[in-house]
Structure 1
Amino acid sequence: MGIERNVSKPKGKVYGESKKNRRKQRKTTVVQKLYETCKEVFADCGPGVVPSPDKVERLKVVLDSMTEVDVGLRPDMTFFKATTGGEIPRITYLHLYDCEKFSIGIFCLPPTGVIPLHNHPGMTVFSKLLFGTMHIKSYDWVGNGPDAMALNADPLEEHPSGVRLAKVKVDSEFTAPCNTSILYPADGGNMHCFKARTPCAVLDVLGPPYCDPEGRHCQYYMDFPFTKFSVVNSIIPVPEEGRAGYAWLEERDRPKDVTVVGEVYSGPKIAEK
């Protein structure tokens, strides 16, 4: 039908353009769609600014459908092989894209690999488990909402030991395929850690990305049971049955027993627009 609508043009040229357009359509990968969706979703966002609910859902729908095949990964690749002889599992990071608005990358974890407890200051983060089984534990600081009121707690108050009170948001095992996990600047589990039960790949979208000059640097934490420290000042005891839902977090230096190395991403490429 394209030829009939362009009868005044040489048939060869029309056929060539039509064939080129068809090739272009076939080359629109899921990774490209992810990039283009991120551009739209984070266009008007910045530190601490969360995309609107409808935009969050749009990006979530794209990520929910993705698997390791879409990014050119296989569980039998070197990244995911178990270590031997007591070696600390090495985590591999594959960089797909970054700009001032967002970044896209993949963490590849071998069995027992750990990404320690860390935060995402001012960020909205989408994490999609592409394959494998992992345990995720996440926390939010006790804030000005019902949690703080129930505890009679000042959200900015530190315990004399230097720890701060946080509430457990997630403490569960996940196996792909599963829905995308979303965390926000002040809730949703802004501080989280991953522990691989099997070889795993996690696709992360950060909006905006970490940026040391702008104060968005990654901070690491140790977590302690609520009962580890005595209650002081305005923070009152939590009922026995609720204590498992709270913990004390203490900032720490980057753990020395964690190795994250960058490798070249070899999956479908992103064409910037």
Structure 2
Amino acid sequence: MTSLVQEIARQANVTFKNCGSSANGDNKVFLEKQDELGNLLTQISAADLKIAPKKNEMKSSSKSKSPSPPVTYMHICETEAFSMGVFLLKSGASIPLHDHPGMNGMLKVLYGKVRIRCFDKLDNPSGAESETQFNPPLLPNQKGSLTPSILRSAGEYTEGSAPCILTPLKDNLHQIDAVGGPAAFLDILAPPYDPDDGRDCHYYKVLQPVSENADQTTAQPDLEEWLLEVPQPDDFWCGGEPYPGPEVSF
């Protein structure tokens, strides 16, 4: 009997293989295939992948205090079209704001709760015609470039939520925070990261935050922000651990 994760992998391969520019979301055939994949993802559970929250799982705040990473990754499979795996976040852990250049993605929570804020890059921000009209409080040692963006969405997801979907143009940059305990989610990226083909991960800092004192789960959408590209934060790193679920093959 074919496992559900095997069915998901096969549908992901069908959905994203040779999809080219249609993966931008304006192609009816692609959207139908993506809907089929989304329907399968809504059925997956942590038990299907033989994973469960670990007892006494606590946040690791820095490398110096603990050798245990705040986030770990279970690799399931990868083809030229997509990669699939499970991210596990300790209580209070966060995957910082980052991008997926030219990539589609689907995220399905398996247990726990995560808060996700998604941004889009803007070519022509309405609030400023150029970076010279914006004076961010940059420190002398900060390196990187400013990127105008818009807060597209902000919300919380649980195992009962529909998958979070990102495209090359919409919701492509996002931050993921574990809320109220450990969390895990199944992650599909298409095509996979490949620095040699222009698909490397970049990290960002919001220079004019969505109001640091506001409830970020109800942050106003379509709010324009400036993002600064930064090195990978010191308090974030991702470890690896074996995937215990059903084997996936092609």
**TM-score bucket of the superposed structures, by smaller chain:** 0.7 to 0.9
Q: Which amino acid aligns with 2:42?
A: D
Say if 1:131 and 1:177, in contact at 8 Å, map to a contact too. Answer: no
Percent sequence identity is 30
1:32: which partner in 2?
A: 6
1:113: which partner in 2?
A: 93
1:268 corresponds to which of 222, 239, 246? 246
Say if 1:48 and 1:123, in contact at 8 Å, map to a contact too. Answer: no
Change (3 A) 1:167 1:271: same
Alpha-carbon distance in structure 2 between the residues aligned to 1:216 and 1:243: 27
Residues 1:97 and 2:80 are matched in the alignment:
no
1:141: which partner in 2?
A: 121
Say if 1:48 and 1:122, in contact at 8 Å, map to a contact too. Answer: no
For residues 94-130 of structure 1, what are the alpha-carbon distances to aligned partners after superposition, in whole Å with 9 as ceiling and x for unaligned?
0001121100011001110110000000001001111
Residues 1:76 and 2:76 are matched in the alignment:
no
Residues 1:203 and 2:183 are matched in the alignment:
no
213-222 vs 49-58, which moves further: 49-58
Structure with greater helix percent: 1
Q: Structure 2: 5+ residue runs without aligned partners?
A: 137-144, 212-219
| Superposition deviation, residue 202 in structure 1 | 1.0
Alpha-carbon distance in structure 2 between the residues aligned to 1:84 and 1:114: 10
| Superposition deviation, residue 253 in structure 1 | 0.8
1:43 corresponds to which of 17, 24, 30? 17
2:102 corresponds to which of 114, 122, 129? 122
1:193: which partner in 2?
A: 175
Change (3 A) 1:257 1:89: same
Say if 2:151 and 2:221, in contact at 8 Å, map to a contact too. Answer: no
Change (3 A) 1:65 1:184: same
TM-score, length of structure 2 as denominator length: 0.80
Change (3 A) 1:163 1:84: closer
TM-score, length of structure 1 as denominator length: 0.74
Alpha-carbon distance in structure 2 between the residues aligned to 1:243 and 1:140: 11
Q: Structure 1: 5+ residue runs without aligned partners?
A: 1-26, 229-241
Query: Helix, strand or coil for the counterpart of 2:207?
Result: strand
1:18: which partner in 2?
A: none
Using CA pairs below 8 Å that are at least 6 residues apart, which structure has the higher relative contact order?
2
Change (3 A) 1:92 1:139: same
Residues 1:224 and 2:207 are matched in the alignment:
yes
| Superposition deviation, residue 199 in structure 1 | 1.1
- Which of structures 1 and 2 has the bigger CA Rg? 1
Give the count of matched residue pairs.
Answer: 223
Q: Which amino acid aligns with 2:150?
A: K
Off by >6 Å, runs of 4+ in structure 1: none
